[in-house]
Structure 1
């Protein structure tokens, strides 16, 4: 371990929510903390707020009085940057403005010791650009905490173009010594989390713009079927529409307006109207006093068919056959013709559930349910776990009979699922979102921005995804994800859905996206690589 001296002073510049949280983390790790803010008196006010939070931790039994008193004694507000003169590490958490950060760090260089590490908590600016104004950029690192810093374990350790490997390692080891879970990342726009997470929001907003479903229904499907803790509409209302939109726009611009990161017109209109979410009393939803939470669209009860036929393997939805049988619905199995040597495989890559009138019920593969070359079908969405899912989304083709749709709804209701019927849209809700998360995660790895394990760790801990996207891609199979994205790309040409090269290579070779650790090394060895 090359962490800084556990007794060495840590400086924190900026006393907003993040600055206070970072200071609390360093204090409870045993460091003396110097707290500075350019606004007179604000550092002292922040120190009082930190002590108040420590007192609440004591009241809750999470901190002893002795630990609280030691932390209180180690916390020192300072009125000038000269108060950082003995710091081993200084972390900046001021406004997201490049010029302000460069001015701060050039001033700090004249104050702190030569071996003092300098770190920015920026979430959107280039670490390389901030360090570009410094005399010694090698000791400068991105150290991106997630809010609230005392509670969330993830820290992204970002190496700028000129960052010394030893400096990044010292900061990484320091974060680990503080009880955090650090991941390494190159200085790429959005780093790991804010880069890979963009489709979670963007696809939901696009579905709304295409009138596939309303916000409450999209949120419910991603939560109850996809296993995400919050839906994107409720989450961005919590984050702030202005904040989320600004990050999206920053990443889009930094990637030279790559269509994979295109911002949402619908969200822009919210921001322009001042409807920034909870803090404004209204965003996608009404958060005013007495407002009730909107309900997702849920189909009325329907009668389940007494029997269905399963033709072929259902792929990622194969688990449904056991659930159907357990619900007391009779299953007949259709024989599949053998594929001889030199013969082409069937046009449909996966099987189908045939309803009594012969209508096909299929897991979405990225195509429309409305079929231009044959009978329409009904498609259903991908689930994280079909057994545990409490909701499923269905989309019928335009010519599907109402009785067929009622049979499909009744079938899933018999399995204990609420059903949301949405408009015929390629990839539905969960499948297209997950496929794009997998794709961006694979692209992040292929471009050397982070290791596969660090990407999955960051997405699980930074935004509470139920699975790391690469692990999710391996569960589905790179071929399945690639085929779904290719189908979307055919319908939406322009590049937004074009699969990454790594994803295509894995699909072609059967190689997993999340590579096993080299023989003789542990997971922790790989996790620290990069």
Structure 2
């Protein structure tokens, strides 16, 4: 009979793979009170990684986040395991080796002959199929995805991914362990990209497509998404931080896993950037310059400024027709700014205005309308969606070719009077924020409808995993799913490739009308 000391125990966590993620996961488990064994196939690498993890703990002590006694106790629980057999007493093994299906399968096949049948086996893969990794195992029911986000000690989200054969008890146990480690677990099924990397694709893809269409430059698109959409970083600066090669590889992986579904089509502009070796901060140049030497601080290089319209006087008054939908607060804000807001007299104009067709009329006669997925019609200026029109500090405008300079200036002055900076971009369908948010809502609704994850888990994952200002389904409901579906219908009419066709999940969410006006 095995001794208690050597018996399989959930208190011992093994981490296989000692790169950045492996070290981070080991630190998380150590701080939570576990014994941790680090293993790497390269001789001596596990011992080096143990030293690096101890140095991480030293930094926590220096910052006052851990006492010296706690550091010493944690370091005493950390051991380098040079042989796979040294992991026999683990209650959980987390794999964080290179993203290669064959390598991962061979590792877990070997682990099965070492650990007890009660040991949980977990992969930290971000791009491979959990089902496929477990396919060769004798007992695939105990196999689960535990996808941490980098840096693992700091970011709270963990995606708990059930493969085709994962037992429910395994997923529950894995989620409970993650929660005990102070993380926020979300449950999902094994799908390309899981939750975050699946639902987040439009945040990058729409901006890159707008760049390819010459709607605006990267600095302007980033500024609009930050200052109007409320996103913490724009997609161009964020992918420079992530690494263009890394971000492009994830996009390509998801696209190929979905059999080249047009909703996930990668960007040719980003591919060319990668081919040129402009990988972002780590190479010194990506979408933006980051200094001549790789790794040099971004602040050391001059960054392009977003396009911002010059100051213009605001019109004295505007006429409002119907409801402005998600921008319904604008008339109130305009009135507070001293601009006259005159309700239209439908009997006088002879127009029948539907609730979802509201717009403002400028003194020169141009109609100012919230971006709806279509290009501005003659005589129209479209303004972009904002997370909150009260607090947004920038608005994008797109003007039809026939709009007069006077009305262009009046539209800019109108928003400038509300304290916003204005970026005038090409009059592309859906502008920037509106098309991005509609696509995020669509992919999120589709994921829920297909059983990938529940609504709460999708929203939690996107808020914590990529710092979105709102969960995409919460945002969708605030705007109205019918509005999102209508925007996508407009985009689908402009780009009839299937990329923008609203999903059945979004259409069901928008009710019997399916977003039709």
CA positional deviation for 1:105: 0.5
Deviation track 1:218-243 (CA, whole Å, cap 9, x = no partner) reads 00000000000000000000000000
Residue of structure 2 in register with 1:364 after alignment: 371
SS of corresponding position for 1:440: helix
Pairing 1:297–2:300 present: no
Alpha-carbon distance in structure 2 between the residues aligned to 1:336 and 1:67: 73
The residue that corresponds to 2:5 in the other structure is none
Task: Give me the TM-score of the superposition, normalised by structure 2.
Answer: 0.94
| Alpha-carbon separation, structure 2, partners of 1:435 and 1:90 | 40
Correspondence for 2:399:
396
Give 2:323's aligned residue. 313
Secondary structure at 1:263's aligned position in 2?
coil
Q: Which of 425, 432, 439 does residue 429 from structure 1 map onto?
A: 432
Q: Which residue is equivalent to 2:486?
A: 483
1:337 deviation in Å?
5.4
Contact 1:478 / 1:510 at 8 angstroms: preserved in 2?
no
2:203–2:436 Cα contact (<8 Å) kept: yes
List aligned pairs for 1:186-335, cutoff 5 A. 186-289=189-292, 290-335=300-345
Between the aligned partners of 1:89 and 1:276, the Cα distance in structure 2 is: 36
Shift of 1:415: 0.4
Q: State the alpha-carbon separation in 2 of the partners of residues 507 and 88 from structure 1.
A: 46
Work out the CA distance in 1 between the residues paired with 2:24 and 2:504.
40
Q: State the shift of 1:455 in Å.
A: 0.4
Query: CA contact under 8 A between 1:25 and 1:178: conserved in structure 2?
Result: yes
Alpha-carbon distance change, 44 to 412 in structure 1, aligned in 2, over 3 angstroms = same
- Report the CA distance shift for 1:244/1:416 in structure 2 as closer, same or farther (over 3 A): same
SS in 1 for 2:357: coil
Shift in Å, 1:336: 3.5
Question: Alpha-carbon deviation of 1:384?
Answer: 0.1
For residue 92 of structure 1, report the CA deviation from its aligned partner: 0.3
Q: For the residues of structure 2 that align with 1:65 and 1:510, how far apart are their CA atoms?
A: 63
- Correspondent of 1:43 among 42, 46, 59: 46
**Cα distance, 1:255 vs. partner?**
0.4
Retained in 1: the 8 A contact 2:9–2:89?
no
- Of the three residues 392, 415, 418, the one matched with 1:415 is 418
CA distance in 2, matches of 1:509, 1:180: 39
**1:92-131 superposed matches below 5 A:** 92-131=95-134
- C-alpha deviations, 1:477-508, integer Å up to 9, x for none? 01111111001001100110011112112223
Partner of 1:453: 456
Q: 2:295 maps to which residue? A: none
CA contact (8 A) 2:9 2:91 kept: no
Moved more, 7-16 or 417-426: 7-16
1:32-79 per-residue CA deviation (whole Å, 9 max, x = no partner) reads 000011111111111111111111111111111121111100000110
- Structure 1 unaligned runs (5+)? 339-343, 513-530
CA–CA separation in structure 2 for the residues paired with 1:101 and 1:426: 44
Q: Matches of 1:282 and 1:155 in 2, distance apart?
A: 31
Mapped to 2, the partners of 1:309 and 1:247 lie a distance apart of 47
Q: Please say if residues 439 and 500 of structure 1, whose CA atoms lie closer than 8 Å, have aligned partners that are also in contact.
A: yes
Secondary structure, aligned partner of 1:79: coil
Give the alignment of 1:17-28 within 5 angstroms.
17-28=20-31
The within-5 A match list for 1:157-172 is 157-172=160-175
- Deviation at residue 350 of structure 1 after TM alignment: 2.7
TM-score (normalizing by structure 1): 0.92
Does 2:72 match 1:62?
no
* 1:157, distance to aligned residue in structure 2 (A): 0.4
* Equivalent residues in 2 for 1:149-188, closer than 5 Å: 149-188=152-191
Work out whether residues 217 and 295 of structure 1, in 8 Å CA contact, stay in contact via their aligned partners in 2.
Answer: yes
| Deviation for aligned residue 1:510 | 8.2
3-state SS of 1:349 partner: helix
Give the SS at the match of 1:303: coil
Displacement after TM superposition at 1:335 (Å): 2.5
Q: Residue 6 of structure 1 contacts residue 31 of structure 1 at CA under 8 Å; is this kept in 2? A: no
Q: What secondary structure sits across from 2:463 in the alignment?
A: helix
- Inter-CA distance 99–237: structure 2 relative to 1 (3 Å threshold): same
